[in-house]
Amino acid sequence: MQGFEPLPLGQEAFAAPRREGSSLCHVCKGSKNLCGKDRCPLMIKFYSYSRTKRLIDAQDLYGSSPPGVFVGRYGYPKVDIGPLVPPDLGDTVIMDTPEQWMGKTMEEIVDFRFRLVRGKHLVNVRDFQSAGRIVDLTRELALSVNSVDVEAKFSKRPSGRIVLDDNIQPFGPSARLERLRIGNPKYDHKVEKAYYDTDLRAVDAVKELYRNDVLISRIEKAFSVGAFGREGARRLVPTRWSITAVDDMLGKDLLRTTKTFPLINEFRVYDWDQLDNRWSVLLTPTSWRYELIEAWYPNTVWNPAGLQVEMISSHEFFDGRKEYAEIGGCYYAARLAVNELLQRERRQAGAVIFREAHPGYLLPVGVWNVRENVRMALTQRPRRFDTLDQALAHVQTRMDIPISTWTAHSAVLRDLRHQRRIDDYVDP
Protein backbone atom coordinates (compact mmCIF):
# COMPACT_ATOMS: atom_id res chain seq x y z
CA MET A 1 0.00 0.00 0.00
CA GLN A 2 1.44 3.34 -1.01
CA GLY A 3 2.47 5.48 1.90
CA PHE A 4 1.73 2.94 4.63
CA GLU A 5 4.54 2.71 7.19
CA PRO A 6 4.58 0.12 9.98
CA LEU A 7 4.89 1.04 13.63
CA PRO A 8 8.29 -0.09 14.94
CA LEU A 9 7.79 -3.19 17.04
CA GLY A 10 9.60 -4.53 20.08
CA GLN A 11 12.78 -6.58 19.83
CA GLU A 12 13.33 -8.07 23.26
CA ALA A 13 10.85 -10.94 22.80
CA PHE A 14 13.05 -12.72 20.28
CA ALA A 15 15.50 -15.42 21.33
CA ALA A 16 16.99 -16.08 17.90
CA PRO A 17 20.00 -13.94 16.88
CA ARG A 18 19.43 -11.43 14.13
CA ARG A 19 21.21 -8.58 12.39
CA GLU A 20 21.33 -5.17 14.03
CA GLY A 21 18.42 -3.05 12.85
CA SER A 22 16.63 -5.93 11.11
CA SER A 23 12.90 -6.49 11.57
CA LEU A 24 11.02 -9.73 12.18
CA CYS A 25 7.69 -8.28 11.04
CA HIS A 26 8.19 -10.16 7.78
CA VAL A 27 8.63 -13.41 9.74
CA CYS A 28 5.68 -12.81 12.06
CA LYS A 29 3.25 -11.44 9.46
CA GLY A 30 0.92 -10.43 12.27
CA SER A 31 0.16 -14.01 13.30
CA LYS A 32 2.92 -15.23 15.64
CA ASN A 33 2.94 -12.35 18.17
CA LEU A 34 6.74 -12.34 18.08
CA CYS A 35 6.84 -8.79 19.43
CA GLY A 36 4.99 -9.86 22.57
CA LYS A 37 1.81 -7.86 21.85
CA ASP A 38 -1.61 -9.51 21.97
CA ARG A 39 -2.57 -7.89 18.68
CA CYS A 40 -0.37 -6.68 15.87
CA PRO A 41 -0.50 -2.86 15.67
CA LEU A 42 0.55 -3.01 12.03
CA MET A 43 -2.43 -5.20 11.19
CA ILE A 44 -4.86 -2.99 13.12
CA LYS A 45 -3.68 -0.06 11.02
CA PHE A 46 -3.62 -2.13 7.84
CA TYR A 47 -7.18 -3.40 8.10
CA SER A 48 -8.58 0.00 9.00
CA TYR A 49 -6.63 1.68 6.22
CA SER A 50 -7.53 -0.93 3.62
CA ARG A 51 -11.25 -0.67 4.44
CA THR A 52 -11.05 3.07 3.89
CA LYS A 53 -8.76 2.94 0.88
CA ARG A 54 -11.36 1.13 -1.24
CA LEU A 55 -13.71 4.07 -0.66
CA ILE A 56 -11.26 6.93 -1.26
CA ASP A 57 -9.17 5.63 -4.14
CA ALA A 58 -10.07 8.68 -6.25
CA GLN A 59 -9.46 12.41 -6.49
CA ASP A 60 -13.03 13.24 -5.48
CA LEU A 61 -14.51 12.55 -2.06
CA TYR A 62 -18.05 13.09 -0.85
CA GLY A 63 -18.79 12.51 2.81
CA SER A 64 -20.01 14.01 6.07
CA SER A 65 -17.32 15.77 8.09
CA PRO A 66 -17.84 15.15 11.87
CA PRO A 67 -17.08 18.20 11.58
CA GLY A 68 -13.33 17.91 11.78
CA VAL A 69 -10.49 20.25 10.82
CA PHE A 70 -6.73 20.09 11.10
CA VAL A 71 -4.04 22.76 11.14
CA GLY A 72 -0.51 21.47 10.59
CA ARG A 73 2.68 22.78 12.16
CA TYR A 74 5.44 21.87 9.69
CA GLY A 75 6.82 24.88 7.85
CA TYR A 76 5.36 27.31 10.40
CA PRO A 77 4.33 30.12 9.88
CA LYS A 78 3.19 28.69 6.53
CA VAL A 79 1.10 25.64 7.38
CA ASP A 80 -1.51 23.36 5.84
CA ILE A 81 -5.13 23.76 6.90
CA GLY A 82 -8.17 21.82 5.79
CA PRO A 83 -11.10 19.57 6.66
CA LEU A 84 -11.16 15.98 7.86
CA VAL A 85 -13.67 14.05 5.75
CA PRO A 86 -14.64 10.35 5.85
CA PRO A 87 -16.14 8.43 2.90
CA ASP A 88 -19.37 8.19 4.90
CA LEU A 89 -22.64 10.11 4.91
CA GLY A 90 -24.84 10.78 7.92
CA ASP A 91 -24.09 11.42 11.56
CA THR A 92 -20.31 11.11 11.93
CA VAL A 93 -19.94 13.41 14.98
CA ILE A 94 -18.40 10.64 17.11
CA MET A 95 -15.40 10.44 14.76
CA ASP A 96 -14.04 13.76 16.06
CA THR A 97 -15.54 13.96 19.55
CA PRO A 98 -13.12 12.20 21.92
CA GLU A 99 -15.36 12.99 24.89
CA GLN A 100 -17.58 10.19 23.51
CA TRP A 101 -14.82 7.58 23.22
CA MET A 102 -14.70 6.24 26.77
CA GLY A 103 -15.39 2.51 26.64
CA LYS A 104 -14.49 2.19 22.96
CA THR A 105 -11.91 -0.41 21.96
CA MET A 106 -8.62 0.48 20.32
CA GLU A 107 -9.92 -0.99 17.06
CA GLU A 108 -13.05 1.16 17.17
CA ILE A 109 -11.06 4.34 17.80
CA VAL A 110 -8.57 3.49 15.05
CA ASP A 111 -11.41 2.80 12.62
CA PHE A 112 -13.07 6.15 13.43
CA ARG A 113 -9.90 8.08 12.83
CA PHE A 114 -8.25 6.33 9.89
CA ARG A 115 -11.41 6.89 7.84
CA LEU A 116 -10.82 10.63 8.05
CA VAL A 117 -9.07 12.00 4.97
CA ARG A 118 -7.24 15.28 5.45
CA GLY A 119 -7.47 17.98 2.83
CA LYS A 120 -4.52 20.37 2.76
CA HIS A 121 -4.31 24.03 1.73
CA LEU A 122 -1.15 26.05 2.40
CA VAL A 123 -1.61 29.40 4.14
CA ASN A 124 0.30 31.83 6.36
CA VAL A 125 -0.97 31.72 9.95
CA ARG A 126 -0.84 35.54 10.19
CA ASP A 127 -2.51 36.21 6.85
CA PHE A 128 -5.37 33.74 6.68
CA GLN A 129 -8.41 36.04 6.85
CA SER A 130 -8.21 36.72 3.12
CA ALA A 131 -6.62 33.44 2.08
CA GLY A 132 -9.59 32.27 0.07
CA ARG A 133 -12.69 30.12 0.08
CA ILE A 134 -11.07 26.91 1.32
CA VAL A 135 -9.91 28.56 4.55
CA ASP A 136 -13.30 30.25 5.06
CA LEU A 137 -15.17 26.97 4.65
CA THR A 138 -12.75 25.13 6.94
CA ARG A 139 -13.42 27.75 9.62
CA GLU A 140 -17.18 27.28 9.14
CA LEU A 141 -16.72 23.56 9.79
CA ALA A 142 -14.83 24.32 13.00
CA LEU A 143 -17.74 26.44 14.28
CA SER A 144 -20.34 23.79 13.53
CA VAL A 145 -21.97 21.36 15.97
CA ASN A 146 -23.39 18.92 13.41
CA SER A 147 -22.01 16.69 10.71
CA VAL A 148 -21.68 18.66 7.48
CA ASP A 149 -21.75 17.19 3.97
CA VAL A 150 -18.52 17.97 2.13
CA GLU A 151 -17.41 17.66 -1.46
CA ALA A 152 -13.64 17.69 -1.82
CA LYS A 153 -11.60 17.55 -5.00
CA PHE A 154 -7.93 16.70 -4.52
CA SER A 155 -4.97 17.30 -6.80
CA LYS A 156 -4.23 13.56 -6.58
CA ARG A 157 -5.55 10.51 -4.77
CA PRO A 158 -5.12 10.76 -0.98
CA SER A 159 -2.05 8.91 0.27
CA GLY A 160 0.79 9.31 2.74
CA ARG A 161 1.61 7.90 6.12
CA ILE A 162 -1.11 7.46 8.71
CA VAL A 163 -0.52 10.08 11.39
CA LEU A 164 0.12 8.72 14.90
CA ASP A 165 1.00 11.14 17.68
CA ASP A 166 0.48 11.16 21.45
CA ASN A 167 -0.80 14.76 21.34
CA ILE A 168 -3.33 14.63 18.51
CA GLN A 169 -5.98 12.14 17.51
CA PRO A 170 -4.77 9.98 14.60
CA PHE A 171 -6.17 10.39 11.11
CA GLY A 172 -5.76 8.79 7.71
CA PRO A 173 -4.26 9.74 4.35
CA SER A 174 -4.09 13.26 2.94
CA ALA A 175 -3.93 15.21 -0.30
CA ARG A 176 -3.85 18.80 -1.51
CA LEU A 177 -7.24 20.39 -2.03
CA GLU A 178 -8.23 21.91 -5.34
CA ARG A 179 -11.85 22.61 -4.47
CA LEU A 180 -14.04 22.42 -1.38
CA ARG A 181 -17.79 22.68 -1.00
CA ILE A 182 -19.84 22.19 2.16
CA GLY A 183 -23.51 21.85 3.04
CA ASN A 184 -25.36 23.93 5.59
CA PRO A 185 -23.59 23.88 8.96
CA LYS A 186 -25.47 24.39 12.21
CA TYR A 187 -23.34 26.73 14.27
CA ASP A 188 -22.68 26.47 17.99
CA HIS A 189 -24.18 29.85 18.95
CA LYS A 190 -21.87 30.25 21.96
CA VAL A 191 -18.81 29.71 19.75
CA GLU A 192 -20.29 31.88 17.00
CA LYS A 193 -20.81 34.74 19.48
CA ALA A 194 -17.15 34.58 20.53
CA TYR A 195 -16.13 34.53 16.87
CA TYR A 196 -17.95 37.77 16.09
CA ASP A 197 -16.71 39.52 19.26
CA THR A 198 -13.53 41.15 17.95
CA ASP A 199 -12.93 42.97 21.25
CA LEU A 200 -12.70 39.72 23.23
CA ARG A 201 -9.24 38.29 23.89
CA ALA A 202 -8.71 34.69 22.76
CA VAL A 203 -7.89 33.49 26.28
CA ASP A 204 -11.09 35.07 27.62
CA ALA A 205 -13.13 33.47 24.85
CA VAL A 206 -11.72 30.04 25.71
CA LYS A 207 -12.49 30.45 29.42
CA GLU A 208 -15.99 31.82 28.80
CA LEU A 209 -16.93 28.96 26.46
CA TYR A 210 -15.63 26.38 28.92
CA ARG A 211 -17.71 27.93 31.73
CA ASN A 212 -20.72 27.71 29.39
CA ASP A 213 -20.20 23.94 29.01
CA VAL A 214 -18.86 23.91 25.44
CA LEU A 215 -16.88 20.70 24.85
CA ILE A 216 -13.12 21.15 25.10
CA SER A 217 -12.63 19.42 21.74
CA ARG A 218 -14.95 21.99 20.14
CA ILE A 219 -13.12 24.90 21.77
CA GLU A 220 -9.79 23.52 20.55
CA LYS A 221 -11.01 23.31 16.96
CA ALA A 222 -12.30 26.88 16.92
CA PHE A 223 -9.15 28.15 18.63
CA SER A 224 -6.95 26.44 16.04
CA VAL A 225 -8.67 28.10 13.07
CA GLY A 226 -8.22 31.60 14.50
CA ALA A 227 -11.87 32.07 15.49
CA PHE A 228 -11.01 33.94 18.72
CA GLY A 229 -9.15 37.09 19.59
CA ARG A 230 -9.15 40.79 18.99
CA GLU A 231 -9.38 42.14 15.48
CA GLY A 232 -5.99 42.11 13.82
CA ALA A 233 -4.50 39.75 16.41
CA ARG A 234 -6.11 36.49 15.31
CA ARG A 235 -3.84 33.68 14.17
CA LEU A 236 -4.12 30.10 13.03
CA VAL A 237 -2.75 27.74 15.69
CA PRO A 238 -1.48 24.28 14.74
CA THR A 239 -3.86 21.64 16.11
CA ARG A 240 -1.14 20.01 18.20
CA TRP A 241 -0.39 23.35 19.92
CA SER A 242 -4.01 24.39 20.30
CA ILE A 243 -4.87 21.26 22.31
CA THR A 244 -2.17 21.90 24.91
CA ALA A 245 -2.77 25.67 24.89
CA VAL A 246 -6.46 25.22 25.75
CA ASP A 247 -5.73 22.66 28.49
CA ASP A 248 -3.06 24.95 29.95
CA MET A 249 -5.20 28.09 29.89
CA LEU A 250 -8.17 26.39 31.51
CA GLY A 251 -6.04 24.59 34.10
CA LYS A 252 -4.32 27.81 35.16
CA ASP A 253 -7.63 29.62 35.36
CA LEU A 254 -9.13 26.97 37.67
CA LEU A 255 -5.96 26.87 39.77
CA ARG A 256 -6.31 30.52 40.70
CA THR A 257 -9.35 29.67 42.81
CA THR A 258 -8.36 26.11 43.71
CA LYS A 259 -5.42 27.53 45.66
CA THR A 260 -7.80 29.59 47.83
CA PHE A 261 -9.96 26.66 48.95
CA PRO A 262 -9.58 24.81 52.28
CA LEU A 263 -7.64 21.54 52.18
CA ILE A 264 -9.19 18.10 52.01
CA ASN A 265 -8.76 16.27 55.32
CA GLU A 266 -7.68 12.82 54.13
CA PHE A 267 -5.61 10.94 51.57
CA ARG A 268 -7.66 9.61 48.65
CA VAL A 269 -6.93 7.24 45.78
CA TYR A 270 -9.11 7.03 42.67
CA ASP A 271 -8.59 4.02 40.36
CA TRP A 272 -9.41 3.38 36.72
CA ASP A 273 -8.41 1.00 33.87
CA GLN A 274 -8.84 1.59 30.14
CA LEU A 275 -7.05 0.45 26.93
CA ASP A 276 -4.57 -1.56 29.05
CA ASN A 277 -3.60 1.58 30.95
CA ARG A 278 -3.82 1.50 34.74
CA TRP A 279 -4.53 4.79 36.49
CA SER A 280 -4.37 5.71 40.16
CA VAL A 281 -4.88 9.33 41.22
CA LEU A 282 -3.61 10.17 44.71
CA LEU A 283 -4.97 13.30 46.38
CA THR A 284 -3.14 14.56 49.48
CA PRO A 285 -4.34 16.90 52.28
CA THR A 286 -1.74 19.54 51.39
CA SER A 287 -1.52 22.79 49.51
CA TRP A 288 -1.44 22.49 45.72
CA ARG A 289 1.34 20.39 44.22
CA TYR A 290 0.97 18.14 41.23
CA GLU A 291 2.83 15.41 39.37
CA LEU A 292 2.12 13.03 36.51
CA ILE A 293 4.30 9.89 36.40
CA GLU A 294 4.09 7.52 33.43
CA ALA A 295 5.57 4.04 33.20
CA TRP A 296 5.84 2.56 29.72
CA TYR A 297 6.30 -1.19 29.53
CA PRO A 298 8.30 -2.82 26.73
CA ASN A 299 6.19 -3.31 23.60
CA THR A 300 4.08 -0.24 24.29
CA VAL A 301 3.70 2.81 22.07
CA TRP A 302 6.66 4.82 23.40
CA ASN A 303 8.84 1.89 24.43
CA PRO A 304 8.56 -0.43 21.41
CA ALA A 305 12.06 -1.90 21.55
CA GLY A 306 12.89 -1.54 25.22
CA LEU A 307 14.23 -4.21 27.54
CA GLN A 308 12.84 -2.59 30.69
CA VAL A 309 10.08 -0.27 31.87
CA GLU A 310 10.75 3.37 31.00
CA MET A 311 9.47 6.05 33.38
CA ILE A 312 9.03 9.79 32.97
CA SER A 313 7.48 12.46 35.17
CA SER A 314 6.81 16.18 35.38
CA HIS A 315 5.72 18.15 38.43
CA GLU A 316 4.98 21.52 39.95
CA PHE A 317 4.63 22.87 43.46
CA PHE A 318 2.39 25.69 44.69
CA ASP A 319 3.99 28.38 42.52
CA GLY A 320 3.66 26.34 39.32
CA ARG A 321 6.29 25.79 36.66
CA LYS A 322 7.74 27.99 33.92
CA GLU A 323 9.21 25.41 31.53
CA TYR A 324 7.14 23.22 29.23
CA ALA A 325 6.53 19.87 30.91
CA GLU A 326 8.98 17.12 29.96
CA ILE A 327 6.09 14.67 29.71
CA GLY A 328 4.34 16.81 27.11
CA GLY A 329 0.71 17.80 26.58
CA CYS A 330 -0.60 14.96 28.76
CA TYR A 331 0.63 16.90 31.80
CA TYR A 332 -1.70 19.84 31.16
CA ALA A 333 -4.66 17.63 30.22
CA ALA A 334 -4.43 15.67 33.48
CA ARG A 335 -3.89 18.84 35.55
CA LEU A 336 -7.11 20.28 34.16
CA ALA A 337 -9.05 17.11 35.03
CA VAL A 338 -7.80 17.18 38.65
CA ASN A 339 -8.76 20.83 39.06
CA GLU A 340 -12.25 20.15 37.74
CA LEU A 341 -12.84 17.80 40.68
CA LEU A 342 -11.37 20.24 43.20
CA GLN A 343 -13.58 23.01 41.82
CA ARG A 344 -16.69 20.87 42.20
CA GLU A 345 -15.78 20.16 45.82
CA ARG A 346 -14.39 23.64 46.49
CA ARG A 347 -11.35 22.04 48.08
CA GLN A 348 -7.58 22.22 47.63
CA ALA A 349 -5.26 19.22 47.53
CA GLY A 350 -2.01 17.92 46.16
CA ALA A 351 -2.17 15.34 43.37
CA VAL A 352 0.07 12.56 42.09
CA ILE A 353 -1.13 10.58 39.07
CA PHE A 354 0.31 7.10 38.48
CA ARG A 355 -0.02 5.65 34.99
CA GLU A 356 1.16 2.20 33.91
CA ALA A 357 0.90 1.69 30.14
CA HIS A 358 0.93 -2.05 29.42
CA PRO A 359 1.52 -3.81 26.07
CA GLY A 360 -2.16 -3.77 25.11
CA TYR A 361 -1.79 -0.02 24.52
CA LEU A 362 -0.80 -0.52 20.92
CA LEU A 363 -1.11 2.87 19.26
CA PRO A 364 -1.01 6.50 20.44
CA VAL A 365 -4.49 8.04 20.27
CA GLY A 366 -3.94 11.57 21.57
CA VAL A 367 -3.93 13.75 24.68
CA TRP A 368 -7.69 13.34 25.05
CA ASN A 369 -6.93 9.81 26.31
CA VAL A 370 -5.23 11.23 29.41
CA ARG A 371 -7.74 13.99 30.08
CA GLU A 372 -10.80 11.75 29.72
CA ASN A 373 -9.34 8.82 31.65
CA VAL A 374 -8.31 11.02 34.58
CA ARG A 375 -11.75 12.61 34.46
CA MET A 376 -13.32 9.15 34.53
CA ALA A 377 -11.06 7.99 37.37
CA LEU A 378 -12.19 10.98 39.43
CA THR A 379 -15.85 10.01 39.02
CA GLN A 380 -15.20 6.70 40.81
CA ARG A 381 -15.68 6.20 44.54
CA PRO A 382 -12.28 6.92 46.13
CA ARG A 383 -10.48 4.86 48.73
CA ARG A 384 -9.83 7.03 51.81
CA PHE A 385 -6.80 6.81 54.12
CA ASP A 386 -5.37 8.53 57.18
CA THR A 387 -1.72 8.39 56.11
CA LEU A 388 0.40 8.60 52.99
CA ASP A 389 1.83 5.12 53.62
CA GLN A 390 -1.66 3.61 53.73
CA ALA A 391 -2.60 5.33 50.48
CA LEU A 392 0.58 4.19 48.73
CA ALA A 393 0.03 0.65 50.00
CA HIS A 394 -3.27 0.67 48.13
CA VAL A 395 -1.61 2.03 44.98
CA GLN A 396 0.84 -0.87 45.22
CA THR A 397 -2.06 -3.35 45.00
CA ARG A 398 -2.96 -1.78 41.67
CA MET A 399 0.45 -1.27 40.10
CA ASP A 400 3.11 -3.82 39.20
CA ILE A 401 5.97 -1.36 39.71
CA PRO A 402 7.16 -1.09 43.35
CA ILE A 403 6.24 2.08 45.23
CA SER A 404 9.95 2.60 45.92
CA THR A 405 10.51 2.93 42.16
CA TRP A 406 7.61 5.35 41.76
CA THR A 407 9.01 7.41 44.65
CA ALA A 408 12.48 7.47 43.13
CA HIS A 409 10.97 9.06 40.00
CA SER A 410 8.73 11.47 41.92
CA ALA A 411 9.66 14.90 43.25
CA VAL A 412 6.30 15.30 44.99
CA LEU A 413 6.34 11.94 46.80
CA ARG A 414 9.91 12.50 47.99
CA ASP A 415 8.95 15.96 49.19
CA LEU A 416 5.91 14.63 51.06
CA ARG A 417 8.01 11.99 52.80
CA HIS A 418 10.90 14.21 53.84
CA GLN A 419 9.74 17.82 54.12
CA ARG A 420 7.52 19.27 56.82
CA ARG A 421 5.64 22.53 56.30
CA ILE A 422 3.39 24.83 58.23
CA ASP A 423 0.43 23.63 56.17
CA ASP A 424 1.04 20.12 57.50
CA TYR A 425 -0.30 21.42 60.78
CA VAL A 426 -2.49 24.45 60.00
CA ASP A 427 -5.13 24.93 57.31
CA PRO A 428 -4.40 27.95 55.08
Please state, for a pLDDT cut of 70, what percent of the chain lies above it.
82
Average pLDDT over residues 158-182: 81
Q: How confident is the model at residue 162 (pLDDT cuts 50, 70, 90)?
A: low
Same domain, 368 and 234: no
Average pLDDT over residues 187-212: 96
Same domain, 410 and 293: yes
Residue 302: which of 10, 104, 3, 46 has the closest Cα?
A: 10
Residue 424 above 70 pLDDT? no
Task: Tell me the pLDDT tens digit for each residue of 261-277.
Answer: 999 999 999 999 999 99
pLDDT recorded at residue 423? 52
Residue 29 above 60 pLDDT? no
Average pLDDT over residues 135-139: 95
Q: Give a yes or no: residue 125 inside a domain.
A: yes
Residue 366 above 70 pLDDT? yes
Residue 378 above 90 pLDDT? yes
Q: Give a yes or no: residue 43 inside a domain.
A: yes
Q: Give a yes or no: residue 8 inside a domain.
A: no
Same domain, 279 and 228: no
Same domain, 282 and 397: yes
Instruction: Give the list of residues 6+ apart from residue 19 with CB closer than 8 angstroms, or none.
Output: none
Same domain, 213 and 332: no
Q: Give a yes or no: residue 417 inside a domain.
A: yes
Task: Tell me the pLDDT tens digit for each residue of 323-340.
Answer: 999 999 999 999 999 999
pLDDT recorded at residue 22? 40
Lowest mean pLDDT among 35-44, 83-92, 176-185, 282-291: 35-44
Same domain, 341 and 406: yes
Q: How confident is the model at residue 23 (pLDDT cuts 50, 70, 90)?
A: very low
Domain termination residue (choose one: 159, 182, 205):
182
Same domain, 354 and 224: no
Give the global pTM: 0.86
Stated length of the chain: 428
Average pLDDT over residues 20-41: 56
What phi and psi values does residue 69 have, to the nearest 5 degrees? Answer: -140, 160
Same domain, 224 and 314: no
Give me the chain's average pLDDT, please. 86
Instruction: Give the list of residues 6+ apart from residue 294 with CB closer than 8 angstroms, or none.
Output: 311, 312, 313, 327, 330, 355, 357
The residues with which 63 forms a beta bridge, in sequence order, are 150
**Residue-range definition of the domain harbouring residue 206:** 190-251
Q: How confident is the model at residue 54 (pLDDT cuts 50, 70, 90)?
A: low
Terminal CA-CA length for the chain = 62
Q: Give a yes or no: residue 18 inside a domain.
A: no
Q: Give a yes or no: residue 305 inside a domain.
A: yes
Q: Give a yes or no: residue 377 inside a domain.
A: yes
Instruction: Give the list of residues 6+ apart from residue 405 with CB closer than 8 angstroms, or none.
Output: 311
Task: Tell me the pLDDT tens digit for each residue of 399-409.
Answer: 999 999 999 99
Residue 417: which of 387, 395, 397 has the closest Cα?
A: 387
Domains contained in the chain, number: 3
Same domain, 158 and 204: no
Q: Give a yes or no: residue 7 inside a domain.
A: no
pLDDT recorded at residue 12? 28
131 vs 73, higher pLDDT = 73
pLDDT recorded at residue 130? 81
